[in-house]
Structure 1
């Protein structure tokens, strides 16, 4: 029987298990969802899967780079607490994932989950880890950064922030300094030419509306907006920003003085964009006391 994406989705919704685990269970049962659920419960996979509904907003960003500095892989793996983020079993799992991603140059969570290491898939290892440590663990994202020309360099700020920079004509020391800058300042784009026109137009529209309230003549407003746009571009682009290690110069001037250029950068920060519910114990107790 053909296993469809809809069947996998249904089993995931019922059990909360990972995609690869659900697909495997369906293949083994020839698409029988009820039997698949029963088998997953028997194997302990369903017990581990129940934890996957809990928010995993802590964790680690891990980077691995090839010896020739031509390729690097960065992954974010989440857990629920900082305590587990420091656990040796969790750290061992992250090391295995990032190395497998580098070895196989896998660029998606689905692809890395299906990779086999020591006779079991990464997804199976993840499920076993969940059952062992009692917390939800998820591979959130994985990205491969390659340098056709030049090299890649990396920087990790503790376990929470990781940066990979691909540059041409730059030494490893310079690339690391640039990666450190990206970690600290968090630019959105490499240069002005990379800023999408719709982003620029939206900002310009906002600035014009703000300046219109000043009551100044149109030609003055145009000059005001032009100056603010230049300032805005300097703030959101790597090359336009003042270099963190030498604020008297911009990153663009630093690159020019070294006959170097940045092709791209990627920055991961643990938990960014994840909405984690903040429990308020006092409010819960008061609500119960009021009979709510």
Structure 2
């Protein structure tokens, strides 16, 4: 039997917001598996906060850059070991320089092999590891190309997001930044319903059914009610269907349409961790 410590229970409580005893029981049932314990709590009807992995973040700087034409954007995370280094001005400057260079490359592999001050980016990271005394690495590399690309960097360089729009119309700059802020704050799992993988949908349906069974709903009704809960899941967790954070009466998709025949084509979100 796996030993469940008080710190394990405390950690699960911090992640989910569920009660201490409920967390302990879920961890025991899940044999210490945190993901399984969260699923158990949800199946029992607990209103789990489901905070993202940002709580476990390592240190560094998340940076987003967009080219002059606003048609290409890149976001990277330059990782380090301590908050002290991550906030250092020269470290953040290096992260910005690297992100600017990254605009010219299609993949992390190509970027790491690119020339930076007479050496490859990969070698520069090794060099700076020796200088700073902490391991430096590119923990994330994401790129977007679209008719209009906007970006947002959350305070303290903890999160960086990119958003692509289908047209470069008047007001695209404001809208793209607003949607990028939305992606940073709400951490959607996909752009729309089509981007959610089948396994996730299947798991959510099963969780919904278990919740309904615990409420005493007849088995014959479960499928139809679960479909409604899945629609709600899409609304809460896919970017274009989420309520717009600056006006909860409309969706993100509706907000984007307010500047014309425009839609969100893609988004990327990188964060420390």
Same fold at TM > 0.5:
yes
Which secondary structure state, in structure 1, belongs to the residue aligned with residue 240 of structure 2? coil
- The Cα of 1:199 is off from its aligned counterpart by 1.9
Number of equivalences: 213
Match of 1:269 among 265, 268, 271: 271
Max Rg structure: 1
Consecutive unaligned residues of structure 1, counting only runs of 5 or more, are: 1-55, 272-292
Distance 2:90 2:256 in 1: 41
- The Cα of 1:143 is off from its aligned counterpart by 1.9
Q: Is the 8 A contact 1:97 1:112 kept in 2?
A: no
Q: Is the 8 A contact 1:73 1:144 kept in 2?
A: yes
The change in CA–CA distance for 1:92 and 1:216 in structure 2 (over 3 A counts) is closer
Q: Deviations over 1:103-140 (max 9, x none)?
A: x32411x3222211232222222222112111111111
- The Cα of 1:216 is off from its aligned counterpart by 2.8
Counterpart position of 2:154: 157
TM alignment of 1:207-246, pairs within 5 A:
207-246=208-247
Q: Is the 8 A contact 2:75 2:142 kept in 1?
A: yes
TM alignment of 1:19-98, pairs within 5 A:
57-98=58-99
Distance 2:166 2:106 in 1: 24
Q: Is the 8 A contact 1:90 1:129 kept in 2?
A: no
Counterpart position of 2:197: 196
Distance 2:265 2:174 in 1: 16
TM alignment of 1:106-185, pairs within 5 A:
106-108=106-108, 110-147=109-146, 150-158=147-155, 159-169=157-167, 171-185=172-186
Consecutive unaligned residues of structure 2, counting only runs of 5 or more, are: 1-56
Distance 1:217 1:122 in 2: 60
- The Cα of 1:185 is off from its aligned counterpart by 0.8
Residue 248 (1) aligns with residue 266 (2): no
Q: Is the 8 A contact 1:153 1:166 kept in 2?
A: yes
Q: Is the 8 A contact 2:205 2:230 kept in 1?
A: yes
- The Cα of 1:175 is off from its aligned counterpart by 0.7
Distance 1:113 1:255 in 2: 35
Q: Is the 8 A contact 2:253 2:264 kept in 1?
A: no
Distance 2:232 2:106 in 1: 38
Give the TM-score normalised by structure 2. Answer: 0.72
Q: Is the 8 A contact 1:243 1:250 kept in 2?
A: yes
Q: Is the 8 A contact 1:189 1:236 kept in 2?
A: yes
Which secondary structure state, in structure 2, belongs to the residue aligned with residue 135 of structure 1? coil
Give the TM-score normalised by structure 1. Answer: 0.68
Q: Is the 8 A contact 2:143 2:268 kept in 1?
A: no
Q: Deviations over 1:166-193 (max 9, x none)?
A: 1113511111111011111111111122
CA RMSD of aligned residues (A): 2.0
Distance 1:141 1:121 in 2: 17
Distance 2:98 2:258 in 1: 38
Q: Is the 8 A contact 1:191 1:239 kept in 2?
A: yes
